[in-house]
Amino acid sequence: MKILVIGSGGREHALAWKISQSPRVDQVFVAPGNAGTARDVENIAIAETDFEQLIEFVKKNDVSITVVGPEAPLSAGIVDVFEKEGLKIFGPNQEAAQMESSKVYCKDLLRKADIPTADYQVFHDAESASHFVQNRYADDAGDVPLVIKADGLAAGKGVVVCHNKIEAIEAIDQIARQKVFGEAGSQILIEERLDGEEASVLAITDGKTIVTLPAAQDHKPAFDGDKGPNTGGMGAYCPTPSVSDEQMNWIEEHVLVPTVHSMKIEGCRFKGLLYAGLMMTRQGPKVLEYNVRFGDPECQPLLTRLKSDIVDLIEATIDGTLDQIEPLQWDTRPSICVVMASEGYPGSYKKGLEISGLDEVEKMEDVKVFHAGTKLVNGKVLTNGGRVLGVTATGNSVSAAKLLAYTAVQKIRWPGVWCRKDIADKAIYQKS
Ligand code: AMP
Ligand code: GLY
């Protein structure tokens, strides 16, 4: 069969690479893809939100299944449009995608289902939100443990973790008065700030059965030691010891099952990948957010370890037969992904710089370079984004996987390239 993957990041390269290993698959297309997907499979020049052209392509080329990588087409209703045409597509419909596209929708559902999450209040304008902060912390010049969030999608940037009143008021002003994230800021959330280690628990569900994947850990801040501005994720590894087997069972029972169940009761069946972003607090795991697609870069180490055929899993999710699927098989070895980024990211950066060293790394065993912001021009691989590559390695221990990943990273060069040097250190230097 033929499969189309929608998107152009590292996650989509990993999905296309894994799908292409299925003996059931003859051809994989990626729209619009990057230099990595152009090399491994086949790119088609259609934008991820151009539903009309995507449907035309799928029909003309006999594509059996479409797999959606990013949140933008999901929240714009790509699944609804494809299903109306009778086409098979992996991902939640527009209504269910609100779990990610509206933080207010997500938090209200969590509260109603009694799922542990940070306390929160919703405001519709800057005045009432500022008033709340000023009143509540009238005499407080010190730490103000609040997080200010824009309701809608803001490319991971609509969240400000605050440490004092000035930061909180400034964030409210930016989101709700200056509307730096546009309509995403028409509702604003003020949340209690949680402390602990973060973990990503991803699960595949057809709305009835839930298949939980091993826990992963992302590294969102730009610089070593979790310093600097937030990014889309500078690296990830899997599995993570931050979530024990016992905690994983607890998360399934008290977080994932009630979430999927409550959505079903609301008449909003979730089909696809549900990603719980968790804070492992002293009171237990609490949900920070839900995403409705694979995490990027969590997807890269996860799929590198998956031994089962991902196409069986995808098809059973679409068909509602996940209860009949064999238990997933995993490589027992840990895997880590180090993101190599452009100078200036997450701020502005140059594009079009030539990347060298990729051929040498391709020969290394247990290493796979997933492309994100790259472009193939006249046979050369050029930078084309902030997060450029995700160098992913598997080893007998987290330390061995880390060493291998960074050995590969050192062979790849372009002007201004940088990466975090401490990906997975939380697992390696874990306090006992
Ligand atoms: P979100 O998009 O809601 O996951 O937020 C992005 C990042 O902001 C998370 O990965 C956390 O690092 C941080 N964050 C969000 N909500 C909270 C919270 N209530 N307490 C502490 N940190 C948070
Ligand atoms: N790695 C974080 C995300 O995909 O949202």
Nearest to 355 by CA among 374, 338, 339, 372: 374
Taking each helix axis from N to C terminus, what angle separates 165-172 and 126-136, rounded to the nearest 10 degrees? 170
Residue 263 is classified by DSSP as: H
Query: Residue 38 in contact with residue 378, Cβ under 8 Å?
Result: no
- C-alpha to C-alpha distance for 225 and 248, rounded to whole angstroms: 26
For ligand 1, mutation pick of 100, 107, 190, 288 (most atoms within 8 Å of CB) = 288
Residue ranges of the domains in the chain? 2-93, 125-186, 197-324, 335-431
Residue 155's pLDDT is what? Answer: 75
374 CB burial (10 A radius; 0-12, 13-18, 19+): buried
Which class is 2-93 in CATH?
alpha beta
pLDDT at 432: 45
Starting from the CA of residue 153, give the closest ligand: 1
Nearest CA to ligand 1 atom 9: 288
Pocket of ligand 2 (CB under 6 A): 156, 218, 233, 291, 295-296, 298
Rg (CA), the chain: 21
Which of left, alpha, beta for 55 (phi over 0: left; psi -120 to 50: alpha)? alpha
Q: Using the atom order of ligand 2, give the atom closest to the CA of residue 295.
A: 4
Ligand 1 shell residues, CB under 6 Å: 118, 147, 159, 161, 191, 193-194, 198, 220, 277, 288-289
Mutate to test the pocket of ligand 2, among 296, 300, 303, 423 (most ligand atoms within 8 A of CB): 296
Domain 197-324 is classified in which CATH homologous superfamily?
A: ATP-grasp fold, B domain (3.30.470.20)
Classified by CATH at the fold level, domain 125-186 comes out as Dna Ligase; domain 1 (3.30.1490)
Q: Among 3.90.600.10, 3.40.630.10, 3.40.30.10, 3.40.50.1000, what is the CATH number of 335-431?
A: 3.90.600.10
Query: DSSP letters of 314-367?
Result: HHHHHHT-GGGSPPPPB-SS-EEEEEEE-TTTTS-----PBPB-HHHHHTSTTE
Name the strand (E) or helix (H) holding 55. Answer: helix 51-60
Block means of pLDDT (10 residues each) for the chain, 432 residues, are 98 98 98 98 98 98 98 97 98 97 95 96 92 81 86 83 89 88 88 95 97 97 93 96 96 97 94 98 96 98 98 98 97 98 96 98 98 97 98 98 98 98 93 50
Residue 208 near residue 185, CB atoms below 8 Å: no
**The pairing of beta strand 63-68 with beta strand 88-90:** parallel
Residue ID of nearest Cα to ligand 1 atom 5: 159
Distance 171 CA to ligand 1 centre (A): 14
